[in-house]
Each structure stands twice: as C-alpha cells, then as structure tokens.
Structure 1
Amino acid sequence: MKVTIMNLAIAASLGSVAVAQPHRHGHHVHHQKRDDSPFEKRDVVTTYVPATVTQYMLGDHQVTPEEAQAGLDKGLYVVVGETTPTFTPPPAPAVTSTSSQEDGVFIEKVTSSSSSSSTPTPSTTSTPEPTTTSTPEPKATQSTTYPVSGGATGIDADFPDGEIDCTTFPSDYGALALDYLNLGGWSGLQYTPSYSVLDLAISYIETGISKPAGQKGFYSYACPAGYVKSQWPESQGNTGQSIGGLFCNGKGKLELTRGDVTKKLCEKGIPGITIKNKMSSGTSVCRTDYPGTENMVIPIDATPGSSTNLANVASNNYYVWQGKATTLQYYVNKKGVNAEQGCRWTCAEDPKGCGNWAPVNIGVGESSDGITYLSIFPNAAISTAVLDFNIDITGDNSIECSYHVGKGFSGSSQGCTTGIPSGGSVTITFSD
C-alpha cells in the first residue's frame, strides 16, 4: 500500500483542500509481495490478495516509515491519503465442521490523495502477539450510540431537494453530525468544481480538510448506529475513486444524489448484528465513509456495558463500485480509545495503534443468497498494533469466529469468517 504524505509548506498553498490522488486497481502497483502465491477466484467474486509492505511517498520520492513518522510528529508533513479496506467473503462455511474452515478472504481498497499518479488496493495478514488481562464483567446498561454527535432527528423525513444551503448540516433529516472532525458536521468533503450532472466520471476531485463555505461538490455524512447513508451519485472518479453524499450545486444548495431511489438521507441496515461491550473499559468501532472519502470516521462508541447495532447491507443492492458489489468495513480500536479519539485517520493518543492503524477490522455484507458473511481479521496491511481484548461472535453463526488475547484468531492468523442465515442474529462480544 502506498500512503502519500505532503510537505506542509506545499499543503499550505492549497488552502483548505488537499488535491485528491486518483487510484485504480492494478495500475502503478507500489507494493511488494511477501509471497508469490497467485490470485485465486471463487464464486461470489472472491478475491485473494497477497500481503503488502506499506510505502510512504513524499511527492514522487519514497521515504522510510521512520522519516515519515518523524515528519508527522514535528508537523512538517501531513497525511493526505485515506484507506478503505473492503472485503469480499468466501462461500458459506459448513455449519457442522470447523476443521475444514478456510481463511477469511479480504480485499483492501486504498485511496490516496495528492496531486499526481495513482495507487492500487492491497490487503492483509499477520499473527498477533497479545498479552492476557482479566477484569470482572460490568453490569449491562442500555444501548448507546455516539454521545457527542450533533443530535440527529427526523430519520424518516424526506429531504427537501435543492432547498437547504450547503453551509447547513442536515441533522433534522437523520444525518449525524461529527463535530469532532471540524468539517461542519460532515464526514467527508469532495469538491468537484468542474462536475456536471451528466458526468459519469469525475476527473478533478479535491478533498476538503476544514469546514466548507459552500464549495461545489459532494458532502458526505454519517447516520445513527444501525443505519447507512443512502445518497451517492452514479458518477465515480475517472480512476476509481468512490464519491458519496449530497451534492452542493452551483447555487449553494444541497441536492439529493439518488432522489429517484429514495428521498431520505439514511436507510436502516439489515438487523441482526449487535456489538456488546462486557469490559470495564470503553472502546470504539469506526466504519469507513464509503462511498466517499473512505476515511474511518463513522463512529460507534462502545462504552462499558453497552449494546449497539452494527450496520449491515445487502451487497448487491447497496453501493456498486466499478460494477462490483461492496461491503461494509469497520476498524476496532484498543481499550480506552473512544470514538472522538479513534474514529479519525490519525489518533494523537496512539498514532501507531488506532484510527487508520487500529489493530483489527470487521467486515460484513449480505450475499445474494441471503447469507451474511461476518469477518474479523488483523489490519496487517498497515498496522502492527495488537488488540488488547477478546472478540467472540455468538448466536446463529455457522462456525466459530473469534479473537482471544494471547491466542489470536480462531482458525487462522489471517482472521476468520462466519455465515449468518437470513433472519438470523449474532452478538459480537468484547471482553477482558
């Protein structure tokens, strides 16, 4: 994976935006294979991707991870790329056997931002080396969602197309303001000054990095726990960037981008997956803003004793990227990292261990046969961090899928995937 960094002296000249670098699968490959195994294929468009080594680029020049981190720590550089791991899971594992379980299959799509060139989409494997702790289970409390958001209301209200100013965040229509990102409540901003509604490919995209002032482009947003964004254009970046959210038009008004499908901003995900935190410490789970900037900012604050819905989608009926079905991807942070700290690209508290560098990912999506595939796996393409609590999936899942401190993932160091039948339910339990 290539992560692009930018010298702040150059970034300053760009004002409040960073010019988005396009990416294309299989074009200008900047990763090194750790093995020579060929890609394999199965049904459900399964893609196997070899592990990769991260490279840091300053313009056209590669710098070492140490140099990159030192520059970031001193404020000399700023990261202007985002990653969005997504995965296409394998066929349903056998219900009656765990010995034949296959490794989880994942594909990570990387979007970098800069003014030049493009980058592909690698993924993932590692073996954790955690330590063991033990804490009594706390008393359960009621369900929780992100507590310091903008107070979303009107989840079922139709959005008034073309009437609201682009400087007004639409929390009255179900959108959840992420004020901690300092983007005016938006989860991501993609300015497209030359865009026309007839364009199927967008050649120029700027990624906003501060509160917008009504610039023309696409304004992405979060929805409450259990819900997903329902607005994105048919257009995509001409080299594969995903685009998401409402459109801020040339008159400074917000327009629906899928108004022919739905006039609501949020849609309820497929129910049946719950995150339950039995630890005495809180943590956070962060979904990527996809389609959109693909940053891991859509928050779940898993406070002690809480139970929260995890959004799931029917992959064939949700966002389609270059003709392919997509799934949802979550980042799991370590103990003590709340959503405001961890649901962002870089965490000041633990820059190598949370946010984009969180130790574990969760992938989920329902296939065309009605089976939901739920995976947990290490964020090994980017992070060496080790998760410091247990994860267990229990309920109507077909086979065991878990991560235990000191033991790693059930079945394989690459993670695990389990199937959930249509109408089934599972609990993802965090415990000490």
Structure 2
Amino acid sequence: MKGIVLKLAIAASLGSVAVAQPHRHAHHVHHQKRDSSPLEERDVVTTYVPATVTQYMLGNQEVSPEEAKAGLDKGLYVVIGETTPSFTPPPAPVATSTSSKEDGVFIEKVTTSSSTSSIPTTTATPTSSSTSTPVPTTSTTPVSSGATGIDADFPDGELDCSTFPSDYGALALDYLGLGGWSGLQYTPNYNILDTAISYIETGISSPSSQKGFYSYACPDGYVKAQWPKSQGNTGQSIGGIFCNAKGKLQLTRSDVSKKLCQQGIPGITIKNKMSSGTSVCRTDYPGTENMVIPLDATAGGSFQLANIASNDYYVWQGKATTLQYYVNKKGVSAEEGCRWVCDSDPEGCGNWAPVNIGVGQSSDGITYLSIFPNSAVSTAVLDFNIDISGDNSIPCYYHVGEGFSGSSSGCTTGIPSGGSVTITFSD
C-alpha cells in the first residue's frame, strides 16, 4: 500500500505570498488541529508574510521535499492536494515609483483531504508516458464553423464517457496516460444535490467510464469553463465535466456556460526570442491541482497566456482565485515539463521548475502579473531572461545572473483594464 503525502502549501502568487508555516513563528499563522481524518486537517488564518514554505505530511509526520520526491519517484507515495491561493488585491502599483516595488497581497488556503486507508484522494504522479498528440505551438486556435469546435455548445449528456471531447475545444494530453484528460476524480457516491463530496478517488490511468469528474486542458489563452458547485468536504477543489451513472458526459455549469472552454482575458502574450523552446505549465485548478496544463513555447513563437477575472472565475470558500504557471528551463518541452515529475531534470522541472508566474484580474479591472522563484520546493536556476513590457505599471523582470527586479522573492506589476503586455523570453 502506498503512503499518502499531503502537500499542505505551495506559493501560487503574484508577488509576496502568505502561506502556512509548519510552526508558529513571527508570521502570525495559526493552526488548529483536528482528529476527524486519518490525515492531518488544518484550519488556517493567514496574514501577509514575504516567505514561501511547502509542507509535506505523511500521516501526521512532516517529511522533507527531498524525501517526498524520492518516495514519489519510487512509487511509494502519492500526493494529495496542491494549494492554489486566493488573494486580496493590493493598491495598484504606481507607474512613477522608482524607490519601492509594491507586492501583491495574497491569502493562501491549505487544502485538506480525506480518504480511505487504501485509496488516495489525489495523485500527482502520471503512470504512463505514451506518445502524445503534439500540443499547440501557437496561440491561434482553429474554430469550426460547423457543429463542433471550441465555440460549439457541448452536447450535454449525449457523449459516452469513453469519448474525449476534442471536437468541442478540449485539448488532449495523451502523454499523461489518462485518456487525454488532465485529471480524473472518481466520486462513486456523489449525488447531484450534494453540497460537499466526502469520497474522492483520483484516477491514475485511462478511465473506464467510472462515475466522477473528468478535467481537461484548453488551448492557449483559454481556460476550463466547467466545474461543479460541490467540492470536497475538506476543501478539495474538483473540476471538469461529469461522467454520470449512465456512462454519459454532462456539463457541470450548464446554467453558466454550455461550452467546455472559455477565452481568458486577452492582453498577455509570451514571446520566445530564444533559439530553443521551453514550456510554461498551468495548475489544473479547480481539479487535481497538478501543473499539467501546457503552453509549449517553441522558439520564435508568440503565445497567449490565459488570465482570469478572479472574482468571476472559480471561487474557493468565498475567496477569489488566481492562475499559477510553472516556467521550465530552456529545451524542456510541454510533454517533458508539464507533469509532476520530469524525468529529464527531476531536480529542475515539473513541480521543481525554477520560476513561477502568477496572474489574475481584480474587481477594479487591474491585472496583477508576477514572476517569482519556485523557492518553496526548488533550488533550480532559470537559464534565460524574462522581461515584461507594455502597459505594465512598474518594471518587473528576471535576468540571468542578476535576479528579479523587485527583490529576491520576485516582482509584481499591474496592467490596467484593456492594457496589454508582452512577456519576453530571451537568452
């Protein structure tokens, strides 16, 4: 039987972040321990601190990131719950300010989970590396003029669960070994009237029409439009469309959208000026919360980075959420790097990628865009430059040998409503 590792906190932010610390320090973070689950559950009240800490728990024992990774690599552990923070937007950065850099203010949630002793709630380790269908290499998304395509309404309750809905805009991630899906959360006891789901089993191979939620990727610049109102009873996020008891796929937000994908807020472009490609991998949230949603930034290309209006997208326990991306080193393709464990560089890509990008638009229309080190788990160093240019309020960049423009913990800039910026990758 595999051990179950609970990943309690990871920074997914647009600047300085607030996270759960293992013990009380001077950060004013309070934990309240319960005994209602085989796994440790925590209620967290978080104030604003400039540090990031990830904590892994095996039962009620803390394990180091190195030990957790070693167990994952050997197949001894599975992971449950990578957190994605919510945030309270700070005042807009001032364009004329040169003496200080205003960081984003974030409230990080701790995801807790319940499971049986034999079935994990969430796994982050793909079990197959089958040949993939290449992911898009440009931001241009073909749209069918007929009955199918990313703008077509999904035929609610008509398709068999064995059918991956690529005809309706979903992007198949065949290399994950999940039948094209980005994540699988089986809920055999789920009732549509449930407000919370207590039993969640994460699939680790292609599904056989098991009842539950099937999450999916969308093309560059688009985000998933479907997730249920019901979520895990201890805070787990659940995303995707539902495979029902009849073996049919049905929408989970049909009252809001009839489509699988929705276009993000335009205005953020990644331009790769390098002679080699790289990959930028978004967390599948809501869902299994693994960094598997790919943007394959091939050399010389331009790509749309998805952005959301935080208050109008997925809301976790009344809090707005943001998008988090993992930036891999030069030469790491999406198939290699957009997964938990990256075989080509296990210490420096995938979950251990060197740099994160965070983005989200606040209720006042300002988008907060941040680049920061993935120092919570990684000591890897990015081997190319990142520069943000355009309508950003203050400078924000990462340069090899110099670091980040704001501080060692990264930088955050603001983009006004209707503005646009380019994130340039260069040697």
Aligned pairs, how many?
Answer: 380
Residue aligning to 2:91: 91
The whole-number CA distance in structure 2 between the counterparts of 1:336 and 1:176 is 22
Q: 1:383 aligns with which of 378, 381, 394?
A: 378
Contact 2:114 2:199 in 1 (8 A): no
Deviations 1:290-325 (A, max 9, x none): 111111111000111110000111111111111111
Q: 1:185 aligns with which of 163, 174, 180?
A: 180
The whole-number CA distance in structure 1 between the counterparts of 2:323 and 2:351 is 15
Residue aligning to 2:240: 245
Change in CA separation of 1:96 and 1:30 when aligned onto 2, cut-off 3 Å: closer
Change in CA separation of 1:397 and 1:10 when aligned onto 2, cut-off 3 Å: closer
Change in CA separation of 1:390 and 1:158 when aligned onto 2, cut-off 3 Å: same
Contact 1:35 1:50 in 2 (8 A): no
Give the Å deviation of 1:10.
Answer: 3.4
Compare 55-64 and 210-219 and name the one that shifted more. Answer: 55-64
The whole-number CA distance in structure 1 between the counterparts of 2:153 and 2:240 is 15
Change in CA separation of 1:363 and 1:116 when aligned onto 2, cut-off 3 Å: farther
Give the Å deviation of 1:71.
Answer: 3.9
Give the Å deviation of 1:258.
Answer: 0.6
The whole-number CA distance in structure 1 between the counterparts of 2:298 and 2:9 is 38
Residue aligning to 1:10: 2
Amino acid at match of 2:152: A
Q: 2:307 aligns with which of 308, 312, 330?
A: 312
Secondary structure of the residue that 1:83 maps to in structure 2?
Answer: coil
Does 2:340 correspond to 1:345? yes
Does 2:103 correspond to 1:103? yes
What does residue range 249-288 of structure 1 map to in structure 2 within 5 Å?
A: 249-288=244-283
Change in CA separation of 1:146 and 1:77 when aligned onto 2, cut-off 3 Å: farther
Secondary structure of the residue that 1:228 maps to in structure 2?
Answer: strand
Give ranges in structure 1 of 5+ residues lacking alignment: 1-8, 12-18, 40-45, 118-141, 148-152
Percent identity between matched residues is 77
Give the Å deviation of 1:58.
Answer: 3.6
Amino acid at match of 1:99: S
Compare 94-103 and 64-73 and name the one that shifted more. Answer: 64-73
Give the Å deviation of 1:218.
Answer: 0.6
Deviations 1:67-101 (A, max 9, x none): 4444444x252332342444524221001113132
Secondary structure of the residue that 2:175 maps to in structure 1?
Answer: helix
Change in CA separation of 1:355 and 1:395 when aligned onto 2, cut-off 3 Å: same
The whole-number CA distance in structure 2 between the counterparts of 1:247 and 1:52 is 35
Residue aligning to 1:137: none
The whole-number CA distance in structure 1 between the counterparts of 2:177 and 2:230 is 26
Give ranges in structure 2 of 5+ residues lacking alignment: 11-18, 30-45, 118-135, 142-147
Contact 2:354 2:375 in 1 (8 A): yes
Change in CA separation of 1:374 and 1:301 when aligned onto 2, cut-off 3 Å: same
Residue aligning to 1:77: 76
Residue aligning to 1:36: 26
Contact 2:275 2:299 in 1 (8 A): yes
Does 2:396 correspond to 1:401? yes
Amino acid at match of 1:94: V
- With normalisation by structure 2, the TM-score equals 0.82
Secondary structure of the residue that 1:341 maps to in structure 2?
Answer: helix
Secondary structure of the residue that 2:311 maps to in structure 1?
Answer: helix
Give the Å deviation of 1:106.
Answer: 4.3
Two-structure CA RMSD over aligned residues (Å):
3.0
Change in CA separation of 1:107 and 1:271 when aligned onto 2, cut-off 3 Å: same
Secondary structure of the residue that 2:103 maps to in structure 1?
Answer: coil
Contact 1:84 1:295 in 2 (8 A): no
Change in CA separation of 1:22 and 1:103 when aligned onto 2, cut-off 3 Å: closer
Residue aligning to 1:128: none
Contact 2:279 2:294 in 1 (8 A): yes
Does 2:138 correspond to 1:144? yes
Change in CA separation of 1:63 and 1:214 when aligned onto 2, cut-off 3 Å: same
Secondary structure of the residue that 2:82 maps to in structure 1?
Answer: strand
Contact 1:21 1:114 in 2 (8 A): no
Change in CA separation of 1:239 and 1:21 when aligned onto 2, cut-off 3 Å: farther
Secondary structure of the residue that 1:418 maps to in structure 2?
Answer: strand
Amino acid at match of 1:78: Y
Contact 1:33 1:50 in 2 (8 A): no
The whole-number CA distance in structure 1 between the counterparts of 2:382 and 2:24 is 23
Residue aligning to 2:418: 423
Residue aligning to 1:123: none
Amino acid at match of 1:32: P
What does residue range 289-368 of structure 1 map to in structure 2 within 5 Å?
A: 289-368=284-363
The whole-number CA distance in structure 1 between the counterparts of 2:235 and 2:301 is 38
Secondary structure of the residue that 2:235 maps to in structure 1?
Answer: coil
The whole-number CA distance in structure 1 between the counterparts of 2:361 and 2:386 is 21
The whole-number CA distance in structure 1 between the counterparts of 2:140 and 2:410 is 27
Secondary structure of the residue that 1:80 maps to in structure 2?
Answer: strand
Compare 358-367 and 50-59 and name the one that shifted more. Answer: 50-59
Contact 1:20 1:112 in 2 (8 A): no
